Copies of this chain bind each other. A is one copy, B any other.
């Protein structure tokens, strides 16, 4: 394995000393960038872009060309696994993800199997390899997946929802069926993430977008337990180099201690929680990633700088903080506001290291 020119992100995840607080942004390759929209137009649509390794590599690198980010994240979608299972992922224009064939019948759930990533998810692995080559060890590359529960939400409901009533109904009426889906999903996610590591991903992030809508006990049983299994199954080192991982449950601020205890290296925070308070709660067990409200990027460079400074100050001295948003960047973000944010983090964080 070659040596990273900038390993600040990896070091922060492992709570090793760094010169400043590293920063990357969830959905950093996205619609707020005009160059992204151009490439997407060439691809035809979002999913075609995901499935085209050349173009996916191109958009992965676009934010790195504009901004001094400390990590790249492979351009893909959190729902590639159920698509590879045959559920038929598609995106209605201006709407969220949908599945053509959501799980409706018990036999469909019984028949569900984890896809071989080398087969149906080849396009993601190819993108990972291409991006790694293109990055030439400048900054690390993050691979990712949706969490088993979040995948299940879309697989059952067939689309986004304000309350995922079908999912919850299954959870409370037929927990055996939901556990069956989650087991297959967990097996699939481990294989998928390890294949991304094999292809060159240097850090891993798991997005649990919908775990936060569960009750405390349901979250532990139906989301966190499966993420724990995945963390246990992940390749932790490649050629002697650690592959750190990040677990992010949106709306999971109440469960930080238990998330931190599943064996992950870092916990992602949404913007509703004070990062200093979060740090007190998890102690030195994990690094923390977050947590600027993405809406702040719609304001002004001055406000962005002061809000970023407040987060850096709240986290305080020492390593273990990866600066990020608390959710994906909004498509309405002026690109120059991202410039302001990253400059504020870079210069404002030196005093804490």
Contact = CB atoms under 8 A, between A and B. Distances in A.
Contact of A168 (B171, B216, B295): B295
A274 to B, nearest CB: 4
A353 interface: no
Contacts of A218: 293
A211 to B, nearest CB: 10
B254 A214 contact: no
A343 interface: no
B272 A307 contact: no
Given A165-B330, A165-B332, A272 B215 contact: yes
Contacts of A219: 272
Contacts of A214: 272, 293
Interface in A249-279: 251, 253-254, 271-274, 277
Given A168-B293, A293-B168, A303 B215 contact: no
Interface in A159-218: 163, 165, 168-169, 171-173, 212-218
A317 B300 CA distance: 51
Contacts of A48: none
A276 B330 CA distance: 37
Contacts of A307: 172
Nearest to A327: B163
Residue among A165, A253, A272, A298 with the highest chain B CB neighbour number at 10 A: A272
Contact of A169 (B169, B254, B299): B299
Contacts of A272: 212-216, 219, 251, 254
B298 A165 contact: yes
A273 B295 CA distance: 26
Given A217-B310, A253-B254, A293-B215, A172 B299 contact: yes
A171 B293 CA distance: 12
A37 to B, nearest CB: 19
Nearest to A295: B168
A311 B272 CA distance: 25
A81 interface: no
A327 B96 CA distance: 25
B303 A172 contact: yes
Interface in A300-317: 300, 303, 307, 310
A261 B171 CA distance: 36
A124 interface: no
A313 B219 CA distance: 19
A152 to B, nearest CB: 15
Contacts of A172: 295-296, 298-300, 303, 307
A88 B51 CA distance: 47
13 contacts: A169-B299, A172-B296, A172-B298, A172-B299, A172-B307, A173-B299, A214-B293, A216-B272, A216-B273, A216-B274, A218-B293, A254-B254, A254-B273
